[in-house]
Amino acid sequence: MAIPWDLIVIQTVNGIVTGMILALVASGLTLIFGIMDVVNFAHGELFMMGAYIGVVVLVASGSFWIALVLSVISVALLGAAMQIVTLRPLVGRDPLTTILATFGISLILQNYALWQFGPVARKIQEPITGQFTLFYLQYPWYRLLIAALSAAIIGGLYLFLKYGRYGIWIRATTQDRVMAQAMGIPVPWVHTAVFAIGAGMAAASGVLFGPLVGVNHAMGLDWVLKAFIVVVVGGMGNLGGSIAAAIFISLLEAYAAIFVSPAQAVIVSFVVLILTLLFRPTGLFVPTPK
Amino acid sequence: MTAAPSPEQTLVKIEGVHTFYGKSHILHGVSLVVGKGEVVGLLGRNGVGKSTTLKTIMGLVTPSQGSIVFEGKPIAGLPPHKLARQGLGYVPEDRRIFKLLTVMENLRTGLDRSGVTDARRKELLDKVFTYFPRLAERRDQAGGTLSGGEQQMLAIARAMMLEPKIILLDEPTEGLMPRMVSQIREIVEVLHREGVAILLVEQNVPLTLAASQRVYFMEKGEVRHHAISSELKVDDPVIHQYLGV
């Protein structure tokens, strides 16, 4: 069988686009886990709420960009409120309680969306509709824009964490919560801020991804499942690892889709997950633990 | 014998402090006083509650009973980050350097706070880099790659970034080479000259007696004895009683 070069190029582009969106969702998730050991089961619902707020603002304002910005801000505030009300009182308790709490929030948000917006999927109109020719395909520029914007947001986060005053606070708190406090860093507020940042990033991916799929109350489920796989494969709490894992898994799935149907290609990510857990449970993209 | 500071000279005063870790009762009513700018030693065998006393003052452990007063205000129950901002610096026994942060970033955790002007920042950094030239050489290196002695210097330098009125210094010379020990000794003197109070937990008795003005002896979670350092000799019966094996 001849190697289908054209298909491989197309699927590479597809894989990178999906990978960047996934990386955006997963980096919020892994950041939250890294700093407060909370597995946020409501992350997919923050993604979904972001998409819905995007729909509402887009209808009201007519501008995709205003919708994106307002959605990120509102979901970040929602995330901050969520953290203060439900997670802050659970600090120091059994981690299981935070799983129950975030899972509870995810159910509430899902059902709120169902009640508010109904079961019919909404559509977000993409801001640019142009296409270019990729072999025999008309490929939408918008997909490349998503990848570029996701990369820009993740790059911004990286620079913030690396050089910003509050970025250093976040990294210090992630490494040693107690010592961070003893150095005058207001750890409870750092936790809230990180939750808000993670929520805002989920919302951004929700709005950006909205035009490719319909916006509905259950859209978070698929994504968060994949994001969890990525976070585990990339090494829990490891930001760079999650980004690498997101692109790696999306590419593998895209290539697999050349040979099997896309629905079957999803199996690839589970295979990677199982192999990772079996042979390198600390994560694929982290330095070998000492 | 009691040369305790007068009330207006008192910086930290703890009285009748009881602390528990879960169900184990660690501190059984500890009382002690540190004056402004005073270096006070806290001696005792392992496991008598010296480190816990420091942690309790720093707010890392909440006392179940007793009072902790800093500059005339009760501070028991306040979160550690507020205490750090009020002028308490903490250098833990295991140093607790942020291992993945560079030396400079470790210092910035204490330096990046509101009210520090650029000129003041530079002054504080210049000061620690003068005392600890090794840290200046390694400012862009990750904290985890430093040697034990360098990590100890970084832990002290990091606390100094807060411009504290008192530093709670937990076994700073533990496991260090003699050359490093004398450097730690020097920095304690420098801090003392600058008017920073120090509550020093140490196993090194000669160093503690030389560096401090007063010493407290702890046993079984209580302060049992209190003396003026210059009146004690290294082989004093008191030392044998509380530290002898």
Question: b/e map of B10-45 (b: 16 or more CB within 10 Å)?
Answer: bbbbbeebbbeeeeeebbbebebbbbbbbbbbbbbe
pLDDT of residue A265: 85
Q: Is residue A142 part of a domain?
A: yes
Measure in Å the smallest separation between the Cα of A181 and chain B Cα atoms: 5
Q: Is residue A78 part of a domain?
A: yes
Three-state SS annotation for chain A: CCCCHHHHHHHHHHHHHHHHHHHHHHHHHHHHHHHHCCCCCCHHHHHHHHHHHHHHHHHHHCCHHHHHHHHHHHHHHHHHHHHHHHHHHHCCCCHHHHHHHHHHHHHHHHHHHHHHHCCCCECCCCCCCCEEEECCEEEEHHHHHHHHHHHHHHHHHHHHHHHCHHHHHHHHHHHCHHHHHHCCCCHHHHHHHHHHHHHHHHHHHHHHHHHHCCECCCHHHHHHHHHHHHHHHHCCCCHHHHHHHHHHHHHHHHHHHHHCCHHHHCHHHHHHHHHHHHHCCCCCCCCCCC
Quote the tokens at residue A254: 């895209």
Measure in Å the smallest separation between the Cα of B156 and chain A Cα atoms: 11
Measure in Å the smallest separation between the Cα of A135 and chain B Cα atoms: 46
Given CB atoms, is B110 within the 8 Å cutoff of chain A? yes
CA–CA gap between residue B40 and residue A156 (Å, rounded): 48
Q: What is the pLDDT of residues B189-221, one digit of tens each?
A: 999 999 999 999 998 899 999 999 999 999 989
Q: Is residue A272 part of a domain?
A: yes
For residues B110-139, give the mean pLDDT.
91
Q: Is residue A231 part of a domain?
A: yes
B83 near B76, Cβ under 8 Å? no
What total number of domains does chain A contain?
1
Domain with residue A222: its CATH number is: 1.10.3470
Contact A182 B158 (CB under 8 A): no
Given CB atoms, is B92 within the 8 Å cutoff of chain A? yes
Q: What is the pLDDT of residues A80-125, one digit of tens each?
A: 999 999 999 998 788 889 999 999 999 999 999 999 999 888 988 8
Q: Which residue has the tokens 């860093």?
A: A185
For residues B28-42, give the mean pLDDT.
94
Which of A176, A181, A188 is nearest residue B98 as measured by Cβ atoms? A176
Q: Residue type for A31, please? A: L
Residue percentage of chain A with pLDDT more than 90: 62
Q: Is residue A182 part of a domain?
A: yes
Q: What is the pLDDT of residues A214-261, one digit of tens each?
A: 899 988 888 888 899 999 999 888 888 999 999 999 999 999 988 888
Domains of chain B: 7-243 (3.40.50.300)
pLDDT of residue A93: 85
- pLDDT-wise least confident of A190-194, B5-9, B175-179: B5-9
Q: Which residues of B touch A175 (CB under 8 A)?
A: 98-101
For residues A43-58, give the mean pLDDT.
95
pLDDT of residue B89: 96
pLDDT of residue B1: 45
Q: Provide the domain limits for residue A222.
A: 5-279
Instruction: Provide DSSP, chain B.
Output: ---PPPGGGEEEEEEEEEEEETTEEEEEEEEEEEETT-EEEEE--TTSSHHHHHHHHTTSS--SEEEEEETTEE-TT--HHHHHHHTEEEE-TT----TTSBHHHHHHHHH-STT--HHHHHHHHHHHHHH-HHHHHTTTSBGGGS-HHHHHHHHHHHHHTT--SEEEEE-TTTT--HHHHHHHHHHHHHHHHTT-EEEEE-S-HHHHHHH-SEEEEEETTEEEEEEEGGG--TT-HHHHHHH--
Measure in Å the smallest separation between the Cα of B96 and chain A Cα atoms: 7
Q: What is the ipTM of this complex?
A: 0.90
pLDDT of residue B3: 67
Q: Is residue A285 part of a domain?
A: no
Q: Which residues of A touch B84 (CB under 8 A)?
A: 181-184
pLDDT of residue B2: 55
pLDDT of residue B218: 93
Measure in Å the smallest separation between the Cα of B240 and chain A Cα atoms: 34
Contact B98 A169 (CB under 8 A): no
Read off the pTM: 0.89
Which of A165, A175, A181 is nearest residue B80 as measured by Cβ atoms? A181
Q: What is the pLDDT of residues B61-109, one digit of tens each?
A: 999 999 999 999 999 989 999 999 999 999 999 999 999 999 999 999 9
pLDDT of residue B242: 84
Q: Is residue A290 part of a domain?
A: no
Confidence of residue A288 (pLDDT cuts 50, 70, 90): low
Please state, rounded to an integer, the average pLDDT across all residues of chain A.
Answer: 91
Q: What is the pLDDT of residues B135-157, one digit of tens each?
A: 999 999 999 999 989 999 999 99
Contact B105 A187 (CB under 8 A): no
pLDDT of residue A123: 87
pLDDT of residue A7: 86
Which residue in B85, B109, B111 has the most chain A C-beta atoms within 10 A of its own C-beta, making it the best mutation to test that interface? B109
